[in-house]
Amino acid sequence: MRLIFGLILLTVVAGSYAQTVSIIPQPVSLEQHKGAFVITKNTALVVTDAGDESSASFFNNYLKQIYGFQLAVKNKAAANSIVLTTRKFIQAPAVEGYQLISGPQGVRIEGDSYAATFQGIQTLIQLLPVQKAASLKIASVTVKDAPRFAYRGMHLDVGRHFFPIAFIKKYIDYLALHKMNYFHWHLTDDQGWRIEIKKYPRLTQIGGFRNGTIIGRYPGTGNDEQRYGGYYTQDEIKDIVAYAAQRFITVVPEIELPGHASAAIAAYPILSCFPSESTQHPADCAWAGDTTGKQVQQTWGVFDDVFCAGKETTFEFLQDVMDEVMELFPGKLLHVGGDECPKSNWKRCPQCQQRMRDHNLKDEHELQSYFIQRMEKYLNSKGRSIIGWDEILEGGLAPNAAVMSWRGEEGGITAAKQKHNVVMTPGGWMYFDHTQSEQEDSVTIGGFTTVQKVYSYEPIPAALTADEGKYILGAQANLWTEYIKNPRKVEYMVFPRMSALSEVQWSSKENRNWDSFEKRLQTQFRRYDLWKANYSKAYFDLQATVQPAADYKGLTWKLATKQAGAKISYLVQKNGQAPAKAWAAYKAPIAVQQSLTITARSVAPNGTMGNAVVQEFKFNKATGKPIQLTYQPGRSYPGDGAFTLVNGIQNTKGLARSKEFLGFEGDDCEAVIDLGNATEVKEVIAHILEQNGSWIYRPQSITVWLSDDGSSYREAGTASMFVQVTPLKTVGVSFAPQKARYVKVLIKNHGLIGDGQAGAGHKAWLFVDELEVN
């Protein structure tokens, strides 16, 4: 059964049915009929093809785990049965179209491939009730379905924090339940090497463990000084790969090169450009030299000590590693990283410089391209293909490489235009380590990515033609684990965003609709409860919106809740005064015309109280005034537009709530504020973030001009002295009091990041939180 995208759209037959059908991701076509089928322990599961046994086993295991019973598996159809059939005339194994028909007599699932039949099982699971019972009533439906994208992935970083085999399997099950088919397993990084390589045992003996971990958000408040680590044996990895294959999921291993190599270099220092006393080939030595100065990293960020591109030893080592990796992972794709590779060591390494001369490489970016292309040639000779982060474009893309576009969409667009396959995974939408609640009570890496933002993502950029768009294989979300130490936190970070992602990956663009998804999400929350998954409740947070007052004289604070029937109340505390004695019922947006703090809360009809929202407003003469930007912020850090800089809210959590920042990649921040009339001013202060490990650098300077008419400006002053106001810095320009209506502020970007610094050679980010006019 082949489905033609664009010709078959979602269909729901009108009528009144006792059961609500709620399927995520939204199928291509869904018709609901009268009647129902009831699954009990007497229902048969009919399998006539050995290729469908994995699907039957998955369904039975789900029934046993959630509802406490299993079905007898038979090879002959009868009444009261669920029949699995895979069509024989469809040859392509990647075809995943299926049809599911349920009625009072039973259920029939027909797939175009074994994988397709398995996807039909996931739809059947979503027809099951979301409460435990001995008899499971499912609606009568006809579902015709197939995925939009061939690559539907989730990533898990086990380098920063290690997770046990049992949870890796559980994570894979979560992917399967969301019709995903690729598991990107990030196995090596600066903070840990997690895969056993028998030829190089020190990779796990030394590289698999670090002697401490920073406390809190980078750069941290100290070090716990506790040995931490772990690794997967080759037998464990084979078990995981087989487990995933039974769920029609391909595991893509990532072995980072040439950067993020600290753990490997700690084990075998000769792999560095500057190995100190180590001179032997790593395979030949029981002790690979003095490791003084070489360590498995205990903090986060990007480090200069990368694999030496000038030594043949490096490539011999990596080829040996890849030989063992290929024995463990039968999939065609191998991820080679390629991201965040500082070039400072290469620039001063005689062997790297000689390599550049020998191959007529004009700079170190081309040396990285040489590195990647050489590894690709080796892996291609073994029948494998590489995929890497979008930095592998720099210096020239390897001939057959696929690209994962994480630094926005630009890398993916460039690669697709060059006719290379692409998986879209831009950080602003697809990084699930980002905060999802404005009231986040745990440490995260920053960002602000809600379930609605994830759902809004369109993987095929508008900049591509229809033919170029065919090179977009699909989308993937990434879960980096610097601040994720245990499985419950993993679940908290991925749910419900994984459900939104699944619909982005699977459903046609025409069939995606937030209002529809939001209704189905309510059932999905109950399904998470059934799974006992520790999902985020951020969706139910009070939604607070700050806007300028209609006359630009102050602000308004608007509140809303997604909890049906909930009532909102609030408490006001003016600065320096005791809070109000009684909570006021929220009926309309609250006018804010001075510095104060408002606390709001919601109470559900059953008396359950939601998380309180506490917002402090700090007023100055620019608060709530009209503001315009000369240069727009990056797509990943747009804040609430220019208004972010005058909304009276000063960030107190660094990157925890990035919507309070405007982020400019390489550009200056130039703004013009209209004070409304001639106003006496004597000082302008900018609140900025400096977090070099994230490529966010302090600006060079701030310059202020004043104007009476918005056309003719006079310079008021320049400053470059910064004051630490944890977690931010401020830089201010003071001058003799004078009247002006318009204030122009230019905050000069740091520019290109210098050698030896995180992100060397790249444009620095400038993060601005608030502009004060006093």
What spatial distance separates the first Cα and last Cα of the chain, rounded to whole Å? Answer: 69
Rounded Cα–Cα distance for residues 382 and 325 (Å): 12
Residues with Cβ within 8 Å of 299's Cβ and at least 6 positions away in sequence, in order, are: 213, 214, 218, 219, 220
The one-character DSSP state at 18 is S
Q: Are β-strands 151-157 and 472-477 bridged in parallel, bridged antiparallel, or unpaired?
A: parallel
440 is catalytic: no
Token readout for 448 is 């602000």
Burial category of 392 from C-beta neighbours within 10 Å (exposed 0-12, middle 13-18, buried 19 and up):
buried
Residues with Cβ within 8 Å of 159's Cβ and at least 6 positions away in sequence, in order, are: 186, 187, 188, 189, 190, 191, 192, 193, 194, 256, 260, 263, 481
Amino acid 598 reads: I
Q: Which residue in the list 340, 391, 409, 438 is annotated as catalytic? A: 340
Instruction: Count CA within 13 A, CB hemisphere, residue 94.
Output: 10
- CB atoms near residue 522 (< 10 Å): 14
Residue with the two structure tokens 């890398």: 411
Give SS3 for 200.
coil
The one-character DSSP state at 691 is B
The one-character DSSP state at 224 is -
- CB atoms near residue 711 (< 10 Å): 7
Secondary structure (DSSP) of 698-735 = --SEEEEEEESSSSSEEEEEEE--EEEETTEEEEEEEE
Residues with Cβ within 8 Å of 671's Cβ and at least 6 positions away in sequence, in order, are: 627, 628, 629, 630, 642, 645, 744, 745, 771
Which residue from 156, 351, 344 is spatially nearest to 240, judged by alpha carbons?
Answer: 156
Amino acid 262 reads: S
Amino acid 146 reads: A
Rounded Cα–Cα distance for residues 451 and 518 (Å): 10
- CB atoms near residue 496 (< 10 Å): 23
260 is catalytic: yes
Amino acid 402 reads: A
Residue ranges of alpha helices (H) inside 98-211 are: 114-127, 165-177, 202-205
434 is catalytic: no
Q: Which residue in the list 96, 157, 173, 189 is annotated as catalytic? A: 189
Rounded Cα–Cα distance for residues 434 and 657 (Å): 9
Q: Which residue in the list 161, 184, 260, 762 is annotated as catalytic? A: 260
8 A C-beta contact, residue 664 and residue 631: yes
Q: What share of the chain is helix, strand, coil (3-state, %, to 5)?
A: 25, 30, 45
Kindly state the helix (H) or strand (E) to which residue 740 belongs, with its residue range: strand 728-748
Give SS3 for 643.
helix
Dihedral in degrees, nearest 10, Cα atoms 343, 344, 346, 350 = 160
Helices and strands per DSSP (H, E), number in the chain: 17, 35
Residue with the two structure tokens 């007052």: 549
The catalytic residue positions are 189, 260, 340
